[in-house]
Structure 1
Amino acid sequence: MDKNAKLPETDDGTILFNTDPIILKYHYEIDYLHSYAQDSPFFAGLTKKKLMGSRCTGCGRRFATPRGHCMECGAPTEWFELPREGRVHTYTTCHFGGEAFLKETPFTLVMVEFDGVDTLFLSRLIGAEPDEVKVGMPVRARFLRNCKFKPTDVYFVPM
Protein backbone atom coordinates (compact mmCIF):
# COMPACT_ATOMS: atom_id res chain seq x y z
CA MET A 1 0.00 0.00 0.00
CA ASP A 2 1.35 3.45 -1.04
CA LYS A 3 0.15 6.15 1.38
CA ASN A 4 1.84 8.82 -0.75
CA ALA A 5 0.00 7.92 -3.99
CA LYS A 6 -1.26 10.90 -6.01
CA LEU A 7 -3.35 11.34 -9.10
CA PRO A 8 -1.35 12.69 -12.05
CA GLU A 9 -1.83 16.40 -12.67
CA THR A 10 -1.54 18.52 -15.77
CA ASP A 11 -0.41 22.11 -16.23
CA ASP A 12 -3.63 23.21 -17.94
CA GLY A 13 -6.02 25.20 -15.80
CA THR A 14 -9.66 26.16 -15.75
CA ILE A 15 -11.01 29.43 -17.12
CA LEU A 16 -12.99 31.14 -14.37
CA PHE A 17 -15.59 33.67 -15.54
CA ASN A 18 -17.16 34.56 -12.20
CA THR A 19 -16.58 33.78 -8.51
CA ASP A 20 -20.00 34.32 -6.90
CA PRO A 21 -21.54 32.15 -8.14
CA ILE A 22 -18.64 30.24 -9.68
CA ILE A 23 -18.98 30.11 -13.46
CA LEU A 24 -16.32 28.28 -15.42
CA LYS A 25 -15.73 26.96 -18.90
CA TYR A 26 -15.99 23.18 -19.08
CA HIS A 27 -15.73 21.16 -22.30
CA TYR A 28 -17.97 18.08 -22.46
CA GLU A 29 -18.01 15.59 -25.29
CA ILE A 30 -19.59 12.16 -25.59
CA ASP A 31 -20.63 9.75 -28.33
CA TYR A 32 -24.32 9.00 -28.05
CA LEU A 33 -26.25 6.22 -29.77
CA HIS A 34 -29.76 7.40 -30.57
CA SER A 35 -32.73 5.66 -32.15
CA TYR A 36 -35.41 7.58 -34.01
CA ALA A 37 -37.71 4.57 -33.45
CA GLN A 38 -41.21 5.35 -34.75
CA ASP A 39 -39.99 8.64 -36.28
CA SER A 40 -37.46 6.86 -38.53
CA PRO A 41 -39.63 7.24 -41.70
CA PHE A 42 -39.52 11.04 -41.26
CA PHE A 43 -35.71 11.07 -41.25
CA ALA A 44 -35.49 8.46 -44.01
CA GLY A 45 -37.76 10.74 -46.06
CA LEU A 46 -35.32 13.62 -45.65
CA THR A 47 -32.63 11.51 -47.36
CA LYS A 48 -34.98 11.26 -50.37
CA LYS A 49 -35.85 14.98 -50.32
CA LYS A 50 -39.35 14.23 -48.96
CA LEU A 51 -41.19 15.75 -46.04
CA MET A 52 -43.22 13.09 -44.27
CA GLY A 53 -46.22 13.78 -42.05
CA SER A 54 -48.72 11.48 -40.39
CA ARG A 55 -52.44 10.93 -40.92
CA CYS A 56 -54.80 9.55 -38.27
CA THR A 57 -56.34 6.21 -39.24
CA GLY A 58 -59.38 7.06 -37.10
CA CYS A 59 -60.49 10.66 -37.63
CA GLY A 60 -58.23 11.50 -40.61
CA ARG A 61 -56.50 14.45 -38.94
CA ARG A 62 -53.22 15.26 -40.73
CA PHE A 63 -50.10 16.25 -38.80
CA ALA A 64 -47.18 18.16 -40.31
CA THR A 65 -45.04 17.17 -37.32
CA PRO A 66 -45.38 13.39 -37.31
CA ARG A 67 -46.63 11.42 -34.36
CA GLY A 68 -47.42 7.77 -33.75
CA HIS A 69 -50.95 8.35 -32.45
CA CYS A 70 -53.57 11.03 -33.01
CA MET A 71 -53.68 13.73 -30.37
CA GLU A 72 -57.44 14.11 -30.95
CA CYS A 73 -58.82 10.56 -30.92
CA GLY A 74 -55.80 8.44 -29.94
CA ALA A 75 -55.91 6.18 -33.02
CA PRO A 76 -52.63 5.12 -34.67
CA THR A 77 -51.34 7.15 -37.60
CA GLU A 78 -49.91 6.30 -41.01
CA TRP A 79 -47.27 8.12 -43.04
CA PHE A 80 -47.97 10.42 -45.99
CA GLU A 81 -45.86 12.86 -48.00
CA LEU A 82 -46.34 16.54 -47.21
CA PRO A 83 -46.37 19.12 -49.99
CA ARG A 84 -43.08 20.94 -50.57
CA GLU A 85 -44.84 24.29 -50.79
CA GLY A 86 -46.68 26.13 -48.04
CA ARG A 87 -47.15 29.53 -46.42
CA VAL A 88 -45.65 31.30 -43.42
CA HIS A 89 -48.21 31.09 -40.62
CA THR A 90 -46.01 32.97 -38.14
CA TYR A 91 -42.30 33.67 -37.69
CA THR A 92 -39.67 34.96 -35.31
CA THR A 93 -36.14 36.27 -35.70
CA CYS A 94 -33.66 34.60 -33.34
CA HIS A 95 -30.74 36.76 -32.27
CA PHE A 96 -29.40 34.06 -29.93
CA GLY A 97 -29.29 30.33 -30.48
CA GLY A 98 -27.82 27.08 -29.38
CA GLU A 99 -24.25 26.16 -30.21
CA ALA A 100 -25.19 24.73 -33.62
CA PHE A 101 -26.76 28.06 -34.68
CA LEU A 102 -24.44 30.66 -33.15
CA LYS A 103 -22.66 31.34 -36.45
CA GLU A 104 -26.03 31.85 -38.21
CA THR A 105 -27.57 34.43 -35.88
CA PRO A 106 -29.72 36.26 -36.52
CA PHE A 107 -31.85 33.62 -38.25
CA THR A 108 -35.57 33.30 -38.92
CA LEU A 109 -37.77 30.46 -37.73
CA VAL A 110 -41.11 29.96 -39.46
CA MET A 111 -44.19 27.91 -38.74
CA VAL A 112 -45.24 26.64 -42.17
CA GLU A 113 -48.86 25.79 -42.98
CA PHE A 114 -49.70 23.39 -45.80
CA ASP A 115 -53.00 23.04 -47.65
CA GLY A 116 -54.98 20.11 -46.27
CA VAL A 117 -52.78 19.66 -43.20
CA ASP A 118 -54.13 20.40 -39.72
CA THR A 119 -50.92 21.36 -37.90
CA LEU A 120 -47.84 23.49 -38.60
CA PHE A 121 -44.21 22.62 -39.35
CA LEU A 122 -41.35 24.48 -37.62
CA SER A 123 -38.26 25.18 -39.71
CA ARG A 124 -35.69 27.80 -40.65
CA LEU A 125 -36.31 30.31 -43.44
CA ILE A 126 -33.25 31.08 -45.59
CA GLY A 127 -32.97 33.76 -48.27
CA ALA A 128 -35.09 36.54 -46.76
CA GLU A 129 -34.07 39.35 -44.45
CA PRO A 130 -36.12 39.48 -41.24
CA ASP A 131 -37.98 42.62 -42.38
CA GLU A 132 -38.95 40.89 -45.65
CA VAL A 133 -40.78 37.98 -43.98
CA LYS A 134 -44.57 38.28 -43.93
CA VAL A 135 -47.41 36.12 -42.66
CA GLY A 136 -48.90 34.33 -45.66
CA MET A 137 -45.65 34.49 -47.66
CA PRO A 138 -45.33 31.45 -49.96
CA VAL A 139 -42.35 29.22 -49.17
CA ARG A 140 -40.81 26.05 -50.60
CA ALA A 141 -38.91 23.25 -48.82
CA ARG A 142 -35.26 22.66 -49.63
CA PHE A 143 -33.01 19.91 -48.33
CA LEU A 144 -29.35 19.66 -47.48
CA ARG A 145 -27.41 17.76 -50.14
CA ASN A 146 -25.74 15.58 -47.51
CA CYS A 147 -28.34 14.41 -45.02
CA LYS A 148 -27.27 14.50 -41.38
CA PHE A 149 -30.47 12.83 -40.08
CA LYS A 150 -31.45 15.99 -38.20
CA PRO A 151 -34.56 18.18 -38.37
CA THR A 152 -32.32 20.92 -39.81
CA ASP A 153 -31.80 18.83 -42.97
CA VAL A 154 -34.89 20.62 -44.31
CA TYR A 155 -35.32 24.39 -44.51
CA PHE A 156 -37.57 26.76 -46.43
CA VAL A 157 -36.94 29.53 -48.95
CA PRO A 158 -39.28 32.22 -50.31
CA MET A 159 -41.03 31.45 -53.58
Structure 2
Amino acid sequence: MVADSAEAWERQPGESAAAWMAFACYRDLGLSRSISKVAGTLGKARTLVERWSTNHQWVIRAEAWEREQDRLWRAERQQASREVARRHARLATAAQSKIIAQLQQLDPSRLSPSDVIRWLEVTIRLERQAYGMDLAEPASGPATPNTVDVSGLSDEERRARMEQLRRELESRIGTLGGEPR
Protein backbone atom coordinates (compact mmCIF):
# COMPACT_ATOMS: atom_id res chain seq x y z
CA MET A 1 0.00 0.00 0.00
CA VAL A 2 1.35 3.45 -0.90
CA ALA A 3 1.58 5.53 2.28
CA ASP A 4 -0.29 8.82 2.54
CA SER A 5 2.57 10.63 4.27
CA ALA A 6 5.24 10.03 1.61
CA GLU A 7 5.10 10.85 -2.06
CA ALA A 8 4.38 7.70 -4.04
CA TRP A 9 7.79 7.77 -5.76
CA GLU A 10 9.71 8.05 -2.46
CA ARG A 11 10.73 5.13 -0.28
CA GLN A 12 7.64 3.75 1.43
CA PRO A 13 7.32 2.60 5.04
CA GLY A 14 8.19 -1.08 5.25
CA GLU A 15 10.06 -1.03 1.94
CA SER A 16 13.55 -2.49 2.27
CA ALA A 17 16.55 -0.63 0.92
CA ALA A 18 16.96 -3.30 -1.79
CA ALA A 19 13.30 -3.07 -2.82
CA TRP A 20 13.55 0.75 -2.87
CA MET A 21 16.68 0.63 -5.02
CA ALA A 22 14.88 -1.75 -7.40
CA PHE A 23 11.89 0.60 -7.61
CA ALA A 24 14.16 3.59 -8.28
CA CYS A 25 15.74 1.61 -11.12
CA TYR A 26 12.27 0.73 -12.48
CA ARG A 27 11.05 4.33 -12.16
CA ASP A 28 14.12 5.76 -13.89
CA LEU A 29 13.87 3.42 -16.90
CA GLY A 30 11.07 5.64 -18.20
CA LEU A 31 8.90 4.38 -21.03
CA SER A 32 11.10 1.32 -21.55
CA ARG A 33 10.69 0.14 -17.94
CA SER A 34 10.01 -3.50 -17.19
CA ILE A 35 10.44 -5.99 -14.37
CA SER A 36 12.81 -8.02 -16.52
CA LYS A 37 15.09 -5.04 -17.15
CA VAL A 38 15.25 -4.24 -13.44
CA ALA A 39 16.04 -7.87 -12.58
CA GLY A 40 18.75 -7.96 -15.24
CA THR A 41 20.24 -4.59 -14.26
CA LEU A 42 20.40 -5.43 -10.56
CA GLY A 43 21.22 -9.11 -10.96
CA LYS A 44 18.13 -10.14 -8.97
CA ALA A 45 15.69 -12.97 -9.60
CA ARG A 46 12.76 -11.90 -11.71
CA THR A 47 10.31 -13.45 -9.23
CA LEU A 48 11.80 -11.39 -6.37
CA VAL A 49 11.54 -8.16 -8.39
CA GLU A 50 8.00 -9.09 -9.41
CA ARG A 51 7.04 -9.60 -5.75
CA TRP A 52 8.54 -6.21 -4.78
CA SER A 53 6.67 -4.59 -7.67
CA THR A 54 3.36 -6.08 -6.59
CA ASN A 55 3.83 -5.50 -2.84
CA HIS A 56 4.97 -1.88 -3.30
CA GLN A 57 2.70 -0.93 -6.23
CA TRP A 58 5.44 0.07 -8.64
CA VAL A 59 3.12 0.72 -11.57
CA ILE A 60 1.01 3.22 -9.60
CA ARG A 61 4.10 4.83 -8.09
CA ALA A 62 5.84 5.13 -11.46
CA GLU A 63 2.72 6.74 -12.95
CA ALA A 64 2.65 9.20 -10.04
CA TRP A 65 6.34 9.93 -10.72
CA GLU A 66 5.60 10.59 -14.41
CA ARG A 67 2.72 12.93 -13.51
CA GLU A 68 4.95 14.82 -11.08
CA GLN A 69 7.73 15.14 -13.67
CA ASP A 70 5.20 16.42 -16.19
CA ARG A 71 3.84 18.94 -13.66
CA LEU A 72 7.37 20.17 -12.89
CA TRP A 73 8.18 20.43 -16.61
CA ARG A 74 5.02 22.45 -17.30
CA ALA A 75 5.74 24.78 -14.36
CA GLU A 76 9.31 25.26 -15.59
CA ARG A 77 8.13 26.02 -19.14
CA GLN A 78 5.51 28.46 -17.83
CA GLN A 79 8.14 30.29 -15.76
CA ALA A 80 10.54 30.38 -18.71
CA SER A 81 7.74 31.73 -20.92
CA ARG A 82 7.05 34.53 -18.43
CA GLU A 83 10.76 35.40 -18.30
CA VAL A 84 10.95 35.51 -22.10
CA ALA A 85 7.87 37.76 -22.27
CA ARG A 86 9.35 40.13 -19.66
CA ARG A 87 12.71 40.23 -21.46
CA HIS A 88 11.03 40.89 -24.82
CA ALA A 89 8.90 43.65 -23.29
CA ARG A 90 12.04 45.33 -21.88
CA LEU A 91 13.79 45.04 -25.25
CA ALA A 92 10.77 46.41 -27.08
CA THR A 93 10.52 49.37 -24.71
CA ALA A 94 14.21 50.16 -25.11
CA ALA A 95 13.98 49.86 -28.90
CA GLN A 96 10.85 52.02 -29.02
CA SER A 97 12.51 54.84 -27.08
CA LYS A 98 15.45 54.80 -29.53
CA ILE A 99 13.09 54.74 -32.52
CA ILE A 100 11.05 57.63 -31.10
CA ALA A 101 14.24 59.65 -30.66
CA GLN A 102 15.11 58.97 -34.32
CA LEU A 103 11.59 59.83 -35.51
CA GLN A 104 11.66 63.15 -33.66
CA GLN A 105 14.78 64.11 -35.58
CA LEU A 106 13.31 63.07 -38.91
CA ASP A 107 12.90 65.94 -41.38
CA PRO A 108 9.56 65.27 -43.12
CA SER A 109 10.46 67.55 -46.03
CA ARG A 110 13.19 65.11 -47.02
CA LEU A 111 10.71 62.25 -47.42
CA SER A 112 9.64 61.17 -50.87
CA PRO A 113 5.91 60.78 -51.55
CA SER A 114 6.31 56.99 -51.36
CA ASP A 115 8.11 57.36 -48.00
CA VAL A 116 5.22 59.45 -46.70
CA ILE A 117 2.69 56.84 -47.84
CA ARG A 118 4.72 54.02 -46.30
CA TRP A 119 5.10 55.88 -42.97
CA LEU A 120 1.38 56.58 -42.96
CA GLU A 121 0.56 52.93 -43.64
CA VAL A 122 2.90 51.78 -40.87
CA THR A 123 1.54 54.24 -38.32
CA ILE A 124 -2.07 53.36 -39.18
CA ARG A 125 -1.31 49.64 -38.83
CA LEU A 126 0.44 50.19 -35.48
CA GLU A 127 -2.38 52.38 -34.21
CA ARG A 128 -4.99 49.79 -35.22
CA GLN A 129 -2.99 47.02 -33.54
CA ALA A 130 -2.64 49.10 -30.36
CA TYR A 131 -6.43 49.43 -30.21
CA GLY A 132 -6.94 45.74 -30.96
CA MET A 133 -8.61 46.41 -34.27
CA ASP A 134 -8.66 43.65 -36.84
CA LEU A 135 -6.22 44.56 -39.58
CA ALA A 136 -8.44 42.83 -42.12
CA GLU A 137 -11.25 45.31 -41.41
CA PRO A 138 -11.26 48.23 -43.80
CA ALA A 139 -10.29 51.53 -42.24
CA SER A 140 -12.91 54.24 -42.25
CA GLY A 141 -13.02 55.90 -45.63
CA PRO A 142 -12.22 54.48 -49.04
CA ALA A 143 -8.59 53.43 -48.37
CA THR A 144 -7.50 50.42 -46.31
CA PRO A 145 -4.44 50.56 -44.02
CA ASN A 146 -2.28 49.00 -46.71
CA THR A 147 -3.34 50.99 -49.80
CA VAL A 148 -3.73 54.60 -50.85
CA ASP A 149 -5.28 54.96 -54.31
CA VAL A 150 -4.18 58.13 -56.05
CA SER A 151 -4.56 56.85 -59.61
CA GLY A 152 -7.72 58.83 -60.30
CA LEU A 153 -6.24 62.15 -59.13
CA SER A 154 -4.74 64.89 -61.28
CA ASP A 155 -1.12 65.91 -60.71
CA GLU A 156 -2.29 68.93 -58.69
CA GLU A 157 -4.63 66.77 -56.58
CA ARG A 158 -1.82 64.25 -56.01
CA ARG A 159 0.53 67.03 -54.85
CA ALA A 160 -2.17 68.34 -52.51
CA ARG A 161 -2.79 64.80 -51.18
CA MET A 162 0.93 64.26 -50.62
CA GLU A 163 1.17 67.55 -48.77
CA GLN A 164 -1.78 66.52 -46.62
CA LEU A 165 -0.12 63.15 -45.89
CA ARG A 166 3.19 64.88 -45.11
CA ARG A 167 1.47 67.21 -42.60
CA GLU A 168 -0.36 64.29 -41.03
CA LEU A 169 2.85 62.28 -40.76
CA GLU A 170 4.70 65.27 -39.32
CA SER A 171 1.91 65.71 -36.79
CA ARG A 172 2.02 62.02 -35.83
CA ILE A 173 5.79 62.04 -35.50
CA GLY A 174 5.61 65.14 -33.38
CA THR A 175 3.11 63.57 -30.98
CA LEU A 176 5.12 60.37 -30.53
CA GLY A 177 7.31 62.11 -28.00
CA GLY A 178 4.29 63.39 -26.11
CA GLU A 179 4.40 66.95 -27.36
CA PRO A 180 2.92 68.18 -30.62
CA ARG A 181 5.18 70.17 -32.91
TM-score by length of 2: 0.24
Higher strand share: 1
| Structure with greater Cα Rg | 2
Higher helix share: 2
TM-score by length of 1: 0.26
